Structures are given as structure tokens and as C-alpha cells.
Chains A and B, each alone.
Chain A
Amino acid sequence: MKDQRSAGRVLSVVLNDRESEARTPSTRLYRIPDDAHDPFTPHPPGPALRPGENDLTRIAPGRPRAAGEGVVIEGRIVDADLRPVRRTLVEIWNANAHGRYSHVIDAGRNDAPLDPHFYGFGRLLTDDDGRYSVRTIKPGAYIARRDIDWWRPPHVHFSVVGSGVRLVTQMYFPEEPLNEKDYIFLVVPEQDRPRVIGRPDAPLAGDRVFRFDIVLRGRFQTPLDADLDHG
């Protein structure tokens, strides 16, 4: 155990992922000495969100609905002490029903069509109980490497930014045969894999609902506006 405190982790390389092979540090991470460890993790100014930013199925309120199956993803975000992570920014992005991202980088390597009614990114703030809810289109699978027939299963990216916490992860859907062949899914330790698969819940307004609860490693301190305003 002493070693774990004085030295950090060795990061895993994703099998068959050329970017992971070329970019993952090979040296064990350095652990910040306990007496120099302060909790001042990045704390961004909260962006002003517009209504409807947590509904990815329409590019703006009142516009036509995107192609594909609408799904609701909801859950609760808690910290290492299992306390709610309040009023924290959650960013979500995913491919469209055809497995194509709206990002320009996907244009050159994916011949699946764009959907004029789907940009595939949205944001929200958690409520005072750490809860969130987002509506999106269930993403299609897409090919990651043709030469080895590696397909990315349907997945939704999540980014959580807040006081004391920072997490970027991906949520998968249950009962997708591609999950068990996806190298990015398989790099997750086996006992943790259920934690990145949405759990089916009761449908909402005709859409399937998946529950995706998030437990962050940091210890969250609810930012109070009064703390930040006396500058």
C-alpha cells in the first residue's frame, strides 16, 4: 500500500488503438506529495445555458426531430463521499442514428450521412440533488478500423466539470453485441464495466429511458455564489 501512496498509476494502452499506443505515457504517473496537495481543481465559470440544450433531438426548440430512436438518459452524479454534485456542468455528445458525428473531423473518414436535424451535442447543469436528464438520439455504431473490423458500439460521451471533480467517460447501451468486441470498452476493468452501461428504466413519453449514475473521485464542495463574488 505504501507504494500506491508514493507512486501513481500506470496508464493502460487500448489494444489495437494506434492513437492510444502513440500517446499514452509509458512512465508511472507522479503522485503529488500529500503536504502539497490542495483541492483547487479547475473550477470554470458556469456558462449561461439556453433553454433546450439538454435536448439533442432538435437543433433548436420547435425544429423537426432528428432521425432515429429518441432516448432519455438520466441519473445522479455524486462524489467520493456519495454526496450530490450540485449545479455542475455536464457536456454530452454522440453520433447520429447512422453512426456519423457532426464534427468536421468525421467528414473524411465516415461516409454515413449527416442528419440536418442533429448536431449531437448538448449541455446541462445538475440540480440540487445532483440529478440530470438529457434526451438524445440513440447513436449508430461506426467502424473504427476497417483492417481489423473494429466497430465502435453505440455510445454517448459525457464530460463533467466542476469544483473538485473532472470526469470524461462514455456510456454504452445494454445488450449490444459490439460492446464485448470494443477495445475502448474492454480496457475498462471487468468489474467496472457494468458502471458504464446504461440501465433500462420505465419509458418516458414514448422514448426508452436509460439510467446512468456517475460517481466521481473528487470530494465536491458545493460552490456558493457568495464565496466567489467578493472579488
Chain B
Amino acid sequence: MRPVKDGYTPPVRPPFTPEATIGPFYPGAFVADMPQDLWTVAPLVAHHPQGRPIVFTARFSDGPGRPVPSLIVEFWQANAHGRYRHPNDRSNAPLDPQFDGFARLRTADDGTLRFSTIRPGAHPVGAGLIRAPHLRLTVFASGIDRLTTQVFFDDEALNASDPVLNSIADPHIRARLVATRRTPVTEPGAAIEYALDVVLRGDAETPFFDDWLP
């Protein structure tokens, strides 16, 4: 940085590498070699992560309402205690030896995916703010660059004060990030299913976030 005469330092724009679409041919091996089911830690293993098992189902569609097949979603979430397995998360909430929080899935020909995981815990952020339980999604598909969004649960009281959800002023648009509980009554321990339609473009477009550094 080179200060000019009045002491003002112009912002330096690093030579960032531009993003591009993932295209139609992202190798299946790259999906298969990452976790896809965070409830099942390994085949035939009796251990499970702590917390309530859930199944999140989503249907991805485009502007004309057609399903988007072969779309890649990377999920990232806190464990049941609201702790991320991430070097920057210095909270005192415990890690869960059975839970890493990252999964990578591909949509089927009908644009749907089904993700078995646990309901994440709430966690503090910034000055006195509480993040409601949510899943973080990074979305890749042919024709689009990387998209990110966050998904909430409709039976969660903390949604009312979540700072990210409520940064979207229009309640109708905000509601597009809230997954609907599909399981009215469950036996103890059974997974609760939540469903969400994700619309990439059009009148019912899902809100996506800009996570580039300011």
C-alpha cells in the first residue's frame, strides 16, 4: 500500500482469481470421496453423532421451473452443541468426536437430494447475537458460479431473532430459507424430516448471500 500525499491509503485490490462455473462434468469420484450422510459415521458402525437425527430434503429448480439435476451441494453445519469443527471456532462448546459437519451431495435427475444429519445447535456470534440452528449450503451447477445460502427450521423459535435471516427485510423472501417440518409426530429418536424448495431464478427465487470480503 502506498499512501498518497493527503494521508489517504487507497484500497489495494489483490489479483483475485475469477470464479467460473463448475460445468456439467464434475467427477463423481469427488462427490463419492466426501461424506454424504453425517448421521452414519461409517457403514455398520453403532456410533452416531450427538443430537437429534434429521433428514433434510431439497428440490432444486430453475427459472422455468424445471428440476436441476447433477447440482452439487456442499453442506456445512455446527454440531449439536453449536460448535464448528473449524480452526477459527474458539468457543467453549464441545466438539463431537462423531461429527465433522461437512457433506457433499449431488441432486438426482428430479433435482432432489436427501441429506441425513443432526439438527445443529444454536451458537453466539458477534456482540450478544445468537445464530438460530441452520445449515450452510454452497451450491455449484453447470451455468452458475458458486452460490451460498443458509437454511433454517420452521419449528425453531430462535429464527425470530437470527441476525442473518432477519437481514432480509421482506418476510415472504425470508420464508424461502425456512425448511418445513414434514414429520408431525415422531417416536423418540426417530429422524425428523424437513423439506425446502430451492429456486435458482424467477419470482420465487431463493435468497443467496454474498460472502466475498467487503
Contact = CB atoms under 8 A, between A and B. Distances in A.
B37 interface: no
Contacts of B200: 22-25
A44 B100 CA distance: 8
A5 interface: yes
A82 B211 contact: no
B163 A35 contact: yes
Contacts, number: 231
Interface residues of A, number: 79
A119 B76 CA distance: 29
Given A19-B143, A230-B95, A38 B66 contact: no
Given A17-B143, A164-B88, A231-B85, A32 B209 contact: yes
Contacts of B202: 26
Contacts of A21: 63, 143
A42 B138 contact: yes
Nearest to B168: A30
Given A157-B23, A192-B18, A22 B209 contact: no
A23 B25 contact: no
Interface string A126-149: 000000000000000000000000
A101 B33 CA distance: 19
Nearest to A29: B210
Contacts of B87: 43, 163, 221-224, 227-228
| Contact-residue bracket for chain B | 35 or more
Given A45-B102, A121-B30, A221-B88, A231 B94 contact: yes
Contacts of B142: 19, 23
Contact of B88 (A40, A95, A216, A230): A40
B205 interface: yes
Given A36-B131, A169-B19, A93 B88 contact: no
Interface of A: 4-5, 8-9, 11, 14, 17-27, 29-45, 47, 80, 82, 91, 93, 95, 101-103, 105-106, 119-121, 123, 157, 159, 163-164, 166-170, 184, 188-189, 192, 195-196, 213-219, 221-224, 227-228, 230-231
Pairs A-B, 3 closest by C-beta atoms: A8-B210, A19-B143, A231-B95
